Chain A
Amino acid sequence: MAAILVVDDELEVGEAIQRVLERAGFTVVVANSADGALQALEGHQPDIVVTDVIMPKVHGLELIRIVRGQYPRVRVVAISGGGSFGPLAYKPDAISTHAYLAGAREAGADEVLTKPFDMGDLLATIRRLLPN
């Protein structure tokens, strides 16, 4: 089964994602900072990294760039909780979730998710990134 590294400075968020993914049969490691994530990556390379964007010290966008550069095989899902703006096609301002997620895509994220997301959305996103 695929291995997933979950990175979020909010412990409860990381654990909840871990709960959902483990229940679905994935092997999950949780890190609560970008530094912790880089250490975990050196040990065992996961298939997917799910990372928060706004984190202290090393920013989520920086982590995505490093993963993209050093571990090109690893897929990345960026998550952010600045807020969702519904189904309409108008753009939020510069500090919004959309801007962060757009930045994450630019940095190399394969998928983006807006917090709070549904269990179904999370699993569907993960499965889209896995082969077969």
Chain B
Amino acid sequence: MDRLINSLRVRLIGVVLVIHAALVPLLYLGVSVIIQEGYAELFVNSVRSFSRLTADELEASGEQEFEQRAAALLDGAMLTGQVVFSEITDGQRKLHSSLAIDIAPVPRADDFDFGDHGDQVYYITHRVKRGDRSIMLRLGFDEGPTLERIIGAKRRLLLAVLTFTLVSIAVSVWLSAVIARPMVRLQEAAKRVAGGDVHAHLEMNSSIREVKDLTHHLESMREKLVGANEQLANEIREREVSERKRLDLERQLLHRERIATIGTLAGGVAHEFNNILTPILLYSQVALDDTPPDSAVAKDLTRIVAAAHRARSLVSRILTFSRQMDVPQTSIFPLRPTVEEALALLRAIVPANIDIVFDPLEDDSTISGDASLIHQVVINLCTNGYQSMRRTGGTLAVRLRVAENPTVTQLDPGKYAMLEVSDSGHGMDPVVMAHIFEPFFTTRGVGEGTGLGLSVVHGIVTSMDGSITVESDIGRGTTFRVYLPLASSTREEIS
């Protein structure tokens, strides 16, 4: 019943217009006829009054109310069941609205039965389902349209329906092309953006201004989002970098403090040791002097003296290395004994499974600079080398050579002292090798090694107008070569 009422309205479903089938009987009459003669209104009113009743109520109350009149005006030809009849008049014509309730199921027929059923009375019957019953609704009127009018109306209706259907299809195709398809593309792009691909462009070719504007706004929103996103990522990156720098500085500072403390401590300890060593050395030498030279006691005393000398030498080296490098002291000094001194200290600290081999070929080369910085260079390079062999053991080879016009970038032609430090350790891959001279780059844990690092070596060598190269094979070892200008050639240049 509701469907019937609703069907009098034109409904838009999606983009396609649908005319409910229930409108069809009214359209049979011709639209102008319906409007002029008020049939639609009458029909709808009778249907509305029916619709207020449930099937049971209608059955119960309707019977009593209408049964009496039904006998006189019964149109027995149509109905096999009980008929409830009502008469409606607009003053001039009699219109009959008969509501037929089929108790027995009515055989399924066309929903609409249009025809002549008596003297000058025409009916439009509509069958609906109400609960489990079929209910026939019949609209009757005295003066029906002529057959011609009806046929004409039917044609017009068919034409109208056909035209309308075609227009609907055209409109929906057009709407689909203009809105739906670009919308789908826009939706796909939006999905990509939502999925993380923020660079997916939101574009849509459409001739509709609103759609264009929508796309434009969405695209500018996306661009702003991308911009904000990048800005945020940059800020995060900057913060990470500055945080790392801060940590590095903090670590460096801590390390410096520790080194300074060790230096102070070593200075104090060295002073004490020297005071202790003085009587040991003097008493053993006095005793040695008082003992026959070939006696066993003399030999023992000689060993004590030698041990005291070694201790003295070690203490002096500790002092040398513990002091701060704040003020470089430039002098011209021979390279070989300087390297030997550093190696002597290293021998005291490297594990027993590592051999240190020194191969000084050119022993008379002198260089200009701070000798303690050369200590640092040797110590750092050797520490780096022996730490790569700590587990496996191996050989740390230190060589001194003179190199003439070495093919090393950033070096002017001339004579150079070449200090080579090779280990037989695990080697480095090219990625590691590319970073080893960078400050704070390490493959080891914090606090391991001297902590001064290869970057310091690089800095020292560069400050002395030298250069450092590195070669490495995975599993075979690493070789560092330090080139330092010879002092003699410097002197020649000056003179």
- Option from B271, B320, B338 in Cβ contact (under 8 Å) with A81: B271
Stretch of B120-128, B321-329, B379-387, B452-460 at the chain-chain interface = B321-329
Chain B residues whose C-beta falls within 8 Å of the C-beta of A88 in the assembled complex = 333, 337-338, 341, 371
Q: How many residues of B contact A (CB 8 A)?
A: 38
- Option from B278, B286, B317 in Cβ contact (under 8 Å) with A116: B278
Chain B residues whose C-beta falls within 8 Å of the C-beta of A17 in the assembled complex = 278, 282
**Shortest Cβ distance from residue B268 to the other chain A in the assembled complex, whole angstroms:** 10
User: Is A15's CB under 8 angstroms from B320's CB?
Assistant: no
Interface residues of B in 378-409 (CB under 8 A from A): none
Chain A residues whose C-beta falls within 8 Å of the C-beta of B270 in the assembled complex = 81-83
Q: Which residue of B lies closest to A14 (CB)?
A: B279
Q: A36 in the interface, Cβ–Cβ < 8 Å?
A: no
**A90 to B333, alpha carbons, bound, how many Å?**
8
A interface, over-half SS: loop
**Shortest Cβ distance from residue B310 to the other chain A in the assembled complex, whole angstroms:** 12
**A37 to B320, alpha carbons, bound, how many Å?**
33
Q: B259 in the interface, Cβ–Cβ < 8 Å?
A: no
Q: A58 in the interface, Cβ–Cβ < 8 Å?
A: no
- Option from A16, A54, A87, A114 in Cβ contact (under 8 Å) with B279: A16
Chain A residues whose C-beta falls within 8 Å of the C-beta of B331 in the assembled complex = 89-91
- Option from A85, A89, A116, A122 in Cβ contact (under 8 Å) with B274: A116
**Shortest Cβ distance from residue A82 to the other chain B in the assembled complex, whole angstroms:** 6
User: Is B372's CB under 8 angstroms from A90's CB?
Assistant: yes
Q: B178 in the interface, Cβ–Cβ < 8 Å?
A: no
Interface residues of A in 112-131 (CB under 8 A from B): 114-120, 122
User: Is B278's CB under 8 angstroms from A19's CB?
Assistant: no
Chain B residues whose C-beta falls within 8 Å of the C-beta of A106 in the assembled complex = none
**Shortest Cβ distance from residue B341 to the other chain A in the assembled complex, whole angstroms:** 7
**A89 to B333, alpha carbons, bound, how many Å?**
7
Q: Which residue of B lies closest to A93 (CB)?
A: B323
- Option from B271, B318, B338 in Cβ contact (under 8 Å) with A54: B271
Q: Which residue of B lies closest to A15 (CB)?
A: B279
Q: Which residue of A lies closest to B311 (CB)?
A: A116
Interface residues of B in 266-323 (CB under 8 A from A): 267, 270-271, 274-283, 285-286, 289, 308, 312-313, 315-320, 323
User: Is A86's CB under 8 angstroms from B282's CB?
Assistant: no
Q: A103 in the interface, Cβ–Cβ < 8 Å?
A: no
User: Is B341's CB under 8 angstroms from A86's CB?
Assistant: yes
**Shortest Cβ distance from residue B424 to the other chain A in the assembled complex, whole angstroms:** 30
Q: Which residue of B lies closest to A52 (CB)?
A: B275
User: Is B285's CB under 8 angstroms from A118's CB?
Assistant: yes
Q: Which residue of B lies closest to A90 (CB)?
A: B371
Chain A residues whose C-beta falls within 8 Å of the C-beta of B323 in the assembled complex = 92-93, 96
Chain A residues whose C-beta falls within 8 Å of the C-beta of B315 in the assembled complex = 83-84
B interface, over-half SS: helix
Interface flags for A60-96 (1: CB within 8 Å of B; 0: not) read 0000000000000000000001111111111111011
User: Is B327's CB under 8 angstroms from A85's CB?
Assistant: no
Chain A residues whose C-beta falls within 8 Å of the C-beta of B289 in the assembled complex = 23, 119
Q: B219 in the interface, Cβ–Cβ < 8 Å?
A: no
Q: How many residues of A contact B (CB 8 A)?
A: 33
Chain B residues whose C-beta falls within 8 Å of the C-beta of A82 in the assembled complex = 267, 270-271, 274, 319
Q: B203 in the interface, Cβ–Cβ < 8 Å?
A: no
Chain B residues whose C-beta falls within 8 Å of the C-beta of A20 in the assembled complex = 282, 285-286
User: Is B282's CB under 8 angstroms from A91's CB?
Assistant: no
Chain A residues whose C-beta falls within 8 Å of the C-beta of B283 in the assembled complex = 16, 19
**Shortest Cβ distance from residue A111 to the other chain B in the assembled complex, whole angstroms:** 16
**Shortest Cβ distance from residue A64 to the other chain B in the assembled complex, whole angstroms:** 19
- Option from A90, A96, A122 in Cβ contact (under 8 Å) with B282: A122
Q: A12 in the interface, Cβ–Cβ < 8 Å?
A: yes
- Option from B267, B275, B372 in Cβ contact (under 8 Å) with A13: B275
**A128 to B289, alpha carbons, bound, how many Å?**
21
- Option from A84, A87, A96 in Cβ contact (under 8 Å) with B312: A84
Q: A35 in the interface, Cβ–Cβ < 8 Å?
A: no
User: Is B327's CB under 8 angstroms from A93's CB?
Assistant: yes
User: Is B286's CB under 8 angstroms from A85's CB?
Assistant: no
**Shortest Cβ distance from residue B265 to the other chain A in the assembled complex, whole angstroms:** 13
B contacts, CB < 8 Å to A: 267, 270-271, 274-283, 285-286, 289, 308, 312-313, 315-320, 323-324, 326-327, 329, 331, 333, 337-338, 341, 370-372
A contacts, CB < 8 Å to B: 10, 12-13, 15-17, 19-20, 23, 54, 81-93, 95-96, 114-120, 122
Q: Can you list 25 A-B pairs with a CB-CB distance of less than 8 A?
A: A12-B276, A12-B278, A13-B279, A16-B283, A17-B282, A20-B286, A81-B270, A81-B278, A82-B270, A82-B271, A83-B318, A85-B316, A85-B319, A85-B320, A88-B341, A90-B331, A90-B370, A90-B372, A92-B319, A116-B280, A116-B308, A116-B312, A117-B281, A118-B285, A119-B285
Given contacts A12-B275, A81-B271, A116-B312, 9 further A-B contacts (CB under 8 A): A13-B275, A81-B278, A83-B271, A86-B316, A87-B337, A88-B337, A93-B324, A116-B277, A116-B278
